[in-house]
Amino acid sequence: MEREQSQEAVFKIILGRRSIRKYENKIPEKEKILKILEAGIWAPSGLNNQPWRFVIVWSKEIKEKLAELTKYHEIVKNAPVLIGVFLNKDAMYHQIKDHQSAGACIQNMLLAAYALGLGTCWLGEILKNESKVKEVLGLPQEKYEMCALIAIGYPKDQRERSERYTLKHFLIKEV
Ligand SMILES: Cc1cc2nc3c(=O)[nH]c(=O)nc-3n(C[C@H](O)[C@H](O)[C@H](O)COP(=O)(O)O)c2cc1C
């Protein structure tokens, strides 16, 4: 793709992505989910330590159990697929940097999903029940730190809106 065209495509995807909280009753293709994970693992990480680990949840029963652990139960219960994102503590080397890497990985996944026609919602509120989530997913408590749950599905409501302050609000100074 010409550089100019791909520049436009990247901006379209970054600006067009919205958190989607309602999904069509259609299971996304496994191929697409694997592509999303592939986008995640190409995120940068400190020392290239790639500390992220994933759990893909297709099971209705598990989704229902996870839904009980968050006030966003409707999103979790109805999401056609969930991806749990964790840090492998054995792979970690620096708290802040490893969390930043996980954030980059998650954002890559959200953007890739949007490019593939899927809607996502980054769910953090459920972290208050991290140890119960690990119990439900059958993960060893000590080995993994939970970062987020990502809900994924074909978007039902395409009219999601969001706002940002203007750049002026964020710019401390130019020197
Ligand atoms: C760290 C983090 C945690 C979030 N947790 C939740 C959540 O628990 N439930 C939810 O509905 N949205 C959650 N969101 C999504 C935000 O509400 C959303 O990104 C924000 O309102 C901006 O909207 P946009 O994603 O459509 O641009 C979370 C986003 C981030 C980055």
Residue 7 located in a structural domain: no
Could you say which residues of the chain have pLDDT below 70? 1
Residue 35 located in a structural domain: yes
Atom of ligand 1 nearest to the CA of 160: 26
Residue 25 located in a structural domain: yes
Residue 145 located in a structural domain: yes
Separation of CA 18 and ligand 1 centre (Å):
9
Question: Which pLDDT belongs to residue 3?
Answer: 78
Provide the CB-side half-sphere exposure for 46 (13 A, CA).
Answer: 13
Cβ of 114 closer than 6 Å to ligand 1, yes or no, is: no
DSSP string, 3-19: HHHHHHHHHHHHHH--B
pTM across the whole model: 0.97
Q: Range of 61's domain?
A: 18-157
Residue 76 located in a structural domain: yes
CATH of the domain at 55: 3.40.109.10
Helix-strand-coil split of the chain, %, nearest 5: 50, 20, 35
Q: Tell me how many domains the chain contains.
A: 1
Tell me the per-residue pLDDT of 97-133, one tens digit each, with 9 for 90 and over: 999 999 999 999 999 999 999 999 999 999 999 999 9
Question: Which pLDDT belongs to residue 1?
Answer: 59
Indicate the top mutation candidate among 105, 121, 163 to test ligand 1's pocket, ranked by most ligand atoms within 8 A of CB.
121
